[in-house]
Chain A
Amino acid sequence: MRNSIIFITIIIFIIPFPALAGPTSTNYELKDYTFGGGGTTKSDSTNYSIFGVAGEVEFGKPGSTTYKAGTGLIYTMQANVPGAPTLSNPATNYDRLKFIIQNGGNPTDTLFAIAISDDNFITTNYIQNDNTVGTVLGAEDWQTYANWGGATGEFVRTLAGNTTYKIKVKSKRGNFTESQYGPESAAITTSNPSLTFGISSATLTFNNLNSGNSYTDSTKTTVLTTSTNAYNGYTIYGRNTGLLTFGSETIPAFASPNSAPTVWSGTGFGYTTDDNNLAGGTADRFTTGGPKHAGFTTSAPGDPLADHTAVIEDPTVTNEQFTITYRVSGDSSTKAGAYTNTVIYVVVPVY
């Protein structure tokens, strides 16, 4: 009939379990094929669309405890289910864990979403595209294997300390292709951030100062030893409780400040540090052209004398040592006596 349109639907075959490998050409493979009983292939509303074919099962999931088999048209279109991701804590991190996902043999443009939970997936959160944890899985949080760090992996951050986490991954490659979640990673616990500190000695006794040593002693030191897994490191501040004092007599603090130390000249009590990458001014201000000295402040918490401000992500910092070398110089007019004060070192984490 020329002027009329006739829809004829003939079900020739009903294929209960679709073929997993269909006809192929150089570039394409027909993953599944069937003859439908009519119906709708794609009906859209603003928010939803339906994708289906009448005449055969659309989706099935027969399974045992260990295995599952997919059936139907949608199953064959789904991206491969990714294998179990790896979750690890390489440097006793407390607010981040390292993850490496498996691409499951998917093409490079396949997108992956990562679910994370600290209660065995009673509550599920998602790793966001900035590697923080959020409650919503947005379209932007689906990223390629390469964007999730590939075989090297990346760190998920903003985690709670001393908490056990698991992750699992699902994949998709266009509409109607979202896979189920793959197996869960092993449960990994974040550490607690810790800071360990020690000074080489609580005593500091200078040589007697006299004309034989030009009223100067610069041989005394304190070694500061620190270990931490705090991500942003630590800073050690130093101050003293006042001037070196004997009765009403004092020895002044060396005049140069911590922000602008100078080569020693004149009299006073001061220090230098061997930290050549120090915050609070030019990084190598004490070591280049030095040693250069500064006088102690009396203001809390003090001036920075040593620090580690590079990221501590992997590995952790263990027994990092810096040496503070003191210098005291008097002159012939300085009254004899036992001059004392107290030097205080304060170590705090960098936030």
Chain B
Amino acid sequence: MIKLLTIISVLTLLNLSFPILVSAQEKPNVKQMIRVSPVILKVSLEPGTEQNYKIKVDNLLDTPLPLKASVEGFDASDEEYGVTVSDQSIASPLMDWISLDEKDAILPALTSRDFNIKIAVPSSVPIGGYYAMIFFTPIFPGVPVSSKIGVLALANIAVAEQKNQADIVTFNFDKVLYEKSPLLTTIRVKNTSLNYFTAKPTLTIKPLFGQDLTFELEDKTILPGKIRRWQRAFDLGNLYGGIYTATLSVSLENGDYIYSTTHFIGFPVKKLGLSLLFLIVSSYLLIHRKRVKKAVRLLFKGQ
């Protein structure tokens, strides 16, 4: 029975040397390898046109960097940050419209190169959102750990004065009754228009008494037909007793908003318990004030 297991990997390419492996507790000042810019290419396309863009790639190593460029299909895979990529078109044909002037290149040490991206849009295409991912992959044959870096291309084919439209699918809190903060809020917004856009929620919480509180959440891009989710815990400090009204406004760009309102109840048990006790004692004293007065007089004057 053979009882020895060996796993061997090899690193030999162009005399490239990397820092020595270290333990997780001691993170090295790692020299970075590659930089791409822009990393999100937001473009507006027109049918029947050919549009050109550049992506700058920097080799940050002090050795030459062999590089492969490729275009892949892209789509969102969940409501948060998940993505699907494939060497086939997925949700849109943008991948098929993109061509690169160079698919293989060697970047000399510490240099940059512009990769020219040509997008040829067919003359008859539906309006809507189109997406693809352009990858740059350092090529080190035989190495067991490799990396690639993606540039996201988001394109819209739109008509003038087109309005973005969306629905607030979910706007709620994790409880109806809160004794104290934090309040966990879930917001889900669906893009019901044909183009992608960025949505930015703002939450205003108004107590029955006291001042309004406003919270701005981050803006996120929503692809057509997709839902994006925001989940956030808000600390309102000490809650007042009573009904709170929460109003959500979601900016859809160009000053357009959609709104939704919900409610929750603040019920700080200790605070309300003390108030209730005070109320009971006060009521008792008020109702039996003659008897109480008599008792106090008896206590202090003895008559």
Contacts and interface: CB of A to CB of B under 8 A. Distances in A.
Contact of A94 (B3, B5, B38, B85): B38
B34 A138 contact: no
Contacts of A195: 35-37, 39, 149, 151
A274 interface: yes
Contacts of A200: 18-19, 21-22, 28, 30
Q: How large is the interface on A (under 10, 10 to 19, 20 to 34, 35 or more residues)?
A: 35 or more
B96 interface: no
A129 interface: yes
Nearest to A137: B255
A132 B253 contact: yes
Question: Which secondary structure dominates where chain A touches chain B?
Answer: loop
Contacts of B180: none
Given A232-B81, A244-B7, 20 more contacts: A134-B255, A162-B38, A193-B37, A197-B34, A198-B34, A205-B8, A209-B6, A210-B3, A232-B218, A232-B220, A301-B83, A311-B218, A336-B2, A342-B145, A342-B146, A344-B146, A345-B146, A346-B135, A346-B148, A351-B220
B200 interface: yes
A266 to B, nearest CB: 15
A129 B143 CA distance: 53
Interface string A179-206: 0000000000000111111111111111
Given A157-B219, A203-B18, A335-B2, A194 B147 contact: no
A202 B155 CA distance: 35
Q: Which of A195, A227, A340 has the most CB of B within 10 A?
A: A195
A350 B222 CA distance: 12
Interface string A286-323: 00000000000000110010010101000000010101
A222 B83 CA distance: 23
B145 A132 contact: no
A91 interface: no
Pairs of residues from A and B, 6 with the lowest C-beta to C-beta distance, nearest first? A128-B255, A130-B251, A203-B11, A198-B32, A194-B37, A336-B4
Contacts of A203: 9-11, 18, 21, 143-145
A323 B220 CA distance: 28
Interface residues of B, number: 71
Given A130-B200, A197-B34, A346-B150, A325 B24 contact: yes
B162 interface: no
B254 A128 contact: yes
A338 interface: yes
B51 interface: no
Interface in B4-58: 4-11, 16, 18-24, 27-40, 42, 56, 58
Contacts of B257: 130
Contacts of B86: 300
Interface of B: 1-11, 16, 18-24, 27-40, 42, 56, 58, 60, 76, 80-86, 133, 135, 140, 143-152, 154, 198, 200, 218-221, 251, 253-257
A18 B58 CA distance: 64
Interface stretch (A53-61, A167-175, A326-334): A326-334
A340 B37 contact: no
A223 B218 contact: no
A332 B3 contact: yes
Contact of B85 (A138, A202, A300): A300
5 contacts: A128-B254, A202-B144, A208-B5, A301-B150, A346-B148
A227 B35 CA distance: 9
Interface in A42-63: none
B143 A342 contact: yes
B30 A350 contact: no
B32 A321 contact: no
B152 A196 contact: no
A339 interface: yes
A140 interface: yes
B6 A279 contact: no
A157 to B, nearest CB: 7
Contacts of B6: 206, 208-209, 336-339
A323 B25 CA distance: 9
